[in-house]
């Protein structure tokens, strides 16, 4: 099966599409965190690939968690932290971060943040923003 370009499905503006709440692995809404679904596509003989925009309000955080696939974060606005292997690494506008599949990590806003931190999350396989299967919480 060959994938052909379809502008109705393959072009999405992450600033004009409606936002959705992100869910924990327990199906609960993650307070202060919303996202905008970007483009996704099922590839022949490969997992689905996709990108979404995530907006984290000041004071919000993703607990330590894993994803079923690898992903890359691209910071669009503000500053935040990614927690990996017991260390917080600051992320700022323009930074990209690769997180391997099933690798425990957490994301939080900067403690002095007055504006939301906003980033793109590119994932393979892609999981919908409002899927409780998007992430699994892990113990620290």
For 20-68, write each residue's pLDDT tens digit: 999 999 999 999 999 999 888 887 778 888 999 999 999 999 999 999 8
**Domain CATH number, residue 25:** 2.60.120.10
Give the pLDDT of residue 100: 87
What is the torsional sign of CA 114, 116, 71, 10?
negative
pLDDT tens per residue across span 83-126: 988 899 999 999 999 998 888 999 999 999 899 999 999 999 99
Q: Is 1 within the bounds of a domain?
A: no
> What's the total number of domains in the chain?
1
- Residue 90 belongs to a domain: yes
Q: Is residue 57 part of a domain?
A: yes
Q: Look at residue 1 in the predicted model and tell me its pLDDT.
A: 58
pLDDT digits 0-9 by tens, 128-139: 999 999 999 998
Angstrom distances, CA of residue 122 to CA of 71, 114, 125: 5, 26, 9
- In angstroms, rounded to a whole number, what is the distance separating the alpha carbons of residues 91 and 81? 5
Neighbours of 36 (CB within 10 A): 21
- Residue 46: domain span: 7-137
């Amino acid at each position: 099966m060959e994938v052909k370009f379809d502008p109705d499905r393959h072009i999405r503006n992450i600033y004009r599409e409606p936002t959705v709440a992100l869910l924990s692995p327990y199906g609960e809404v993650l307070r202060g965190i919303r996202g905008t679904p970007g483009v996704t596509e099922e590839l022949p003989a490969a997992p689905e690939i996709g990108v979404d925009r995530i907006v984290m309000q000041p004071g919000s955080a993703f607990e330590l968690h894993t994803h079923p696939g690898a992903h890359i974060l691209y910071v669009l606005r503000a500053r935040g932290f990614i927690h990996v292997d017991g260390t917080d690494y600051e992320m700022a506008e323009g930074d990209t971060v690769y997180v391997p599949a099933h690798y425990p990590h957490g994301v939080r806003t900067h403690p002095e943040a007055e504006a939301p931190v906003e980033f793109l999350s590119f994932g393979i396989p892609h999981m919908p923003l409002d899927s409780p299967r998007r992430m699994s919480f892990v113990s620290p």
